[in-house]
Amino acid sequence: MNGQVTMVEDDGEELEGGMDKGFIALDGALNIYRAADVKALLQDELTRCTVLEVDLAGVTEIDSAGVQVLILAKLMARDENRELRLVHHSDPVKDVFQRLALERWFGDGLPTPH
């Protein structure tokens, strides 16, 4: 497996209702070979946190399986009244989101093309 999934706890910020804000940094390829592991990690953290921030700066490659995992996590968060924030999008992530016109759907601060 290329790259790794790094999970870093937030600085202990407690949100309303006693739930925590979580933070995960993804590193390396977000592809078919890692999709199941990343999916399980995101689902576990979303059950624990009210807000989960996922740093994508270290993502060096993303394929359709990686995109599907992020979509699933975003839908899961919405269904459970939680928030998934994708931050620090790497160039490969930006490129795929723009090609698939997903910037607006994810709504995480990526500029949308004119």
Is the pLDDT assigned to residue 3 strictly greater than 80? no
Residue-wise pLDDT for 28-72, tens only, equals: 999 999 999 999 999 999 999 999 999 999 999 999 999 999 999
Give how far Cα 85 sits from Cα of 1, 4, 65, 88, 103, Å: 25, 20, 19, 10, 13
Taking alpha carbons only, the member of 113, 81, 78 closest to residue 98 is 113
- Rounded to two decimals, what is the model's pTM? 0.83
* 3-class secondary-structure state, position 81: coil
